[in-house]
Structure 1
Amino acid sequence: MAVHPANIAAMPAHLTDTALYLQRLGHDRPPPPTLATLRDLQQWHTAAFPFETLSTLLREPVAVDLPSIERKLLHEGRGGYCYELNRAFLALLQALGFDARGITARVVMGEAEGAVTARTHLLVLATVEGVRYTVDVGFGGMVPTAPLRLDRDDAQPTPHEPYRIARRADEYTLHAQVAAEWRALYVFDLQPQAEIDYVVGNWYVSTHPDSPFLDELRVARTGPGWRRTLGHGGVALHRLGSPSERRALADADEVIVELRDGFGLRVPEHPGLRAAIERWLQRHAHAG
């Protein structure tokens, strides 16, 4: 159901079940708002809550109010994309006492140099002991798994790939080192965002004909030293220091098994799911 702009201010701005959220992230009680906590929560989050676009594959509405996100992540066994994962994580950080707010980015991964794309990615800016960090738990297969210090331009290690943030005037570009090559992921600034900005960005991502997520299935999850991704008709396991292992998926049954067993998702009971997956597989088989 679409959300009327007049109702945005009435949306609950706080989590209703912080305890359950923290339990999913390995904490029995609220941890202190320290850098060590931030690092721990971010790494756990990318492992516990997969990035996934089942809703946009099915052309279902994607709600970004906190009660809907909590229900999807904590009670329905699902994951989500940036407007869900980073929106929930931002609310959690604020509940724990972190100085944190949302910012938005233009995704340039795979685009020509200098391309200006829409602001379609939500991430978090957190300040800990006077130091600013970007925090992101919702960028799919290349999601950073540690906070990245904003005001430095050298390589920063994470439990997975190194990242660096380049600054030009008031804009910042996040890069990841993949196979010894630095790749630009997204460009962002520090402009404050309001709840309506998340709603508008999410509407574009979930409904616009040019959205890369519409009718697409993309899933990603991390673990100690590995990333698992699903997309383009197949699944891949990327281990640090080893060649990636890739496998094509033959039919909807294989995809559903992979979603459940490989990514830990509770696959929704939707009458159109198998047909949507088969169409997705056929498109990528023809593209290949």
Structure 2
Amino acid sequence: MSELNQLFRDRIGYADQNALTFERLPEALALMAVAIPFENLCIMDGSITAVTEQYLVTKVLLNREGGLCYEINSLLYLFLLDNGLDVVMTRGVVFDAEKNAYNTHGRTHISILLRHEGQTYLIDSGFGGNLPLQPVPLTGETVVSANGEFRIRRAEHALGDYVFEVKLKHKDEDWRTGYTFDSERAITGLVDSNEIQRIVVEHPDSRFNKAPLITRLTPAGSVTLTSTSLTVWTDGVMSKEEIEGEQYAELLNRYFGRGIGPEPINNQPERSITL
């Protein structure tokens, strides 16, 4: 087993030492959603490094940080590839619900396409809290997990040929558009991940170069921290508090195990989401 393969399993708490199979993917994706946060803290700190395999191993697996889609899904792609699964990556354009329009700064979302027994599935562990936690077929079939309902609709769109749609548990009453992607544009290396990083870091319309954001799923819901607020969802109930000053550093440590302070809560047993 490669170093990346073993470190990835250690990072998410996946104890099985056999090659990861398609059938076991939901378990691994659920563990990953709890263990690895979606975050832009390196961008806000000005710590920008080229996206390579070694960079991803060091940042996410050894330093136990999280990342954005071009880091999380790129690392997952390498892990799935190392386990013998038939995967490529693809780029998509995220839909901005507030503006009711697709982002204008390009194909900045990267996700994974997996082929299994003649069928193609979308895998995405890098879309904030909008994670399906299992493969989503490109057939239009609805997939249900602990995080909600997810489906992929065929589309004739200038931005791509499929649309990823989301209906989060406790949060969405109706389906909403996540992003459009192009299934015909296969990516097998990390060059696009670096291009996406450049856009996310530099573009004035990027939402991830403005203020710190870190979020992850929990077995009971989710937790999201910004420089001004903490939002926790627990069994469908949301609590939100405004924060200031030193509270940010203390909460970053408590909920995400970052910084210096008391033992972080996510070091305690908290490793499964019921599917």
How many angstroms apart in 1 are the aligned matches of 2:130 and 2:259?
A: 23
Matched residue, 2:21: 34
C-alpha deviation, 1:120, in angstroms: 0.4
Gap change, CA 1:62 and 1:107, over 3 Å in 2: farther
Is contact 1:227–1:237 with CA below 8 Å preserved after alignment? yes
How many angstroms apart in 2 are the aligned matches of 1:266 and 1:65?
A: 25
Specify the code of the residue in structure 1 equivalent to 2:205: D
44-53 or 220-229, which deviates more: 220-229
How many angstroms apart in 2 are the aligned matches of 1:37 and 1:125?
A: 17
C-alpha deviation, 1:101, in angstroms: 0.9
How many angstroms apart in 2 are the aligned matches of 1:149 and 1:30?
A: 27
Matched residue, 1:277: none
Q: Which has the higher strand share?
A: 2
C-alpha deviation, 1:36, in angstroms: 2.3
C-alpha deviation, 1:232, in angstroms: 6.8
Q: Say whether residues 1:137 and 2:130 are aligned partners.
A: no
TM-score relative to the length of structure 2: 0.83
The answer for unaligned runs of 5 or more in structure 1 is 1-14, 268-288
Matched residue, 2:192: 197
Paired residues for 1:117-266 under 5 Å = 117=104, 118-152=106-140, 154-169=141-156, 171-177=161-167, 178-190=171-183, 191-193=185-187, 194-231=189-226, 233-240=228-235, 242-251=236-245, 253-266=246-259
Is contact 1:166–1:173 with CA below 8 Å preserved after alignment? yes
C-alpha deviation, 1:56, in angstroms: 1.3
Gap change, CA 1:266 and 1:62, over 3 Å in 2: farther
How many angstroms apart in 2 are the aligned matches of 1:129 and 1:119?
A: 29
178-187 or 119-128, which deviates more: 178-187
How many angstroms apart in 1 are the aligned matches of 2:210 and 2:118?
A: 43
How many angstroms apart in 2 are the aligned matches of 1:227 and 1:130?
A: 34
Q: CA RMSD in A?
A: 2.1
Specify the code of the residue in structure 1 equivalent to 2:66: G
Q: Which has the higher helix share?
A: 1
Residue-pair matches, total: 251
**Percent of aligned pairs with the same amino acid:** 26
Partner of 2:72, secondary structure, is helix
Gap change, CA 1:29 and 1:161, over 3 Å in 2: closer
Alpha-carbon displacement from aligned partner over 1:91-118 (angstroms, at most 9, x marks no partner): 0000011101111110113254453531
How many angstroms apart in 2 are the aligned matches of 1:223 and 1:23?
A: 18
Partner of 2:186, secondary structure, is coil
Matched residue, 2:91: 104
Gap change, CA 1:232 and 1:182, over 3 Å in 2: farther
How many angstroms apart in 1 are the aligned matches of 2:118 and 2:20?
A: 13
How many angstroms apart in 1 are the aligned matches of 2:64 and 2:223?
A: 18
Gap change, CA 1:72 and 1:16, over 3 Å in 2: same
Partner of 2:108, secondary structure, is strand
The answer for unaligned runs of 5 or more in structure 2 is 261-275
Gap change, CA 1:116 and 1:31, over 3 Å in 2: same
Partner of 2:205, secondary structure, is coil
